[in-house]
Amino acid sequence: MSIFVIILLSLAICLIIFLLVVFKFGYVKCESNVCLNGKVALVTGGSSGIGYQIALQLASRACKVIIADRVINDDIKQSIIKETHNPNIILEYADFTSFKSVRDLVEKIKSSEEKLDILFNNVGIGKAPEHPSEDGVNMTMQVNHYSPFLLTHLLVGLLRKSSDGRIVFTSSVASFFTLQL
pLDDT band at 175 (very low <50, low <70, confident <90, very high): low
What spatial distance separates the first Cα and last Cα of the chain, rounded to whole Å? Answer: 19
How confident is the prediction for the chain on average, in pLDDT? 89
Question: What residue spans define the domains of the chain?
Answer: 1-31, 32-172
Structure confidence by residue, pLDDT tens digits, 71-107: 999 999 999 999 999 999 999 999 999 999 999 999 9
Nearest to 144 by CA among 128, 124, 158, 120: 124
Q: How far is CA 8 from CA 5, 19, 127, 180, in A?
A: 5, 16, 19, 17
Structure confidence by residue, pLDDT tens digits, 97-153: 999 999 999 999 999 999 999 999 999 887 777 789 899 998 888 998 999 999 999
- pLDDT (0 to 100) of residue 125: 84
Q: At what angle do helices 74-84 and 49-60 cross, to 10 degrees?
A: 40
Adjacent-strand bridge partners of 40:
64
SS3 (DSSP) at 92:
strand
- Is pTM beyond 0.85 here? no
Decide if pLDDT at 1 tops 90.
no
32-172: CATH superfamily: NAD(P)-binding Rossmann-like Domain (3.40.50.720)
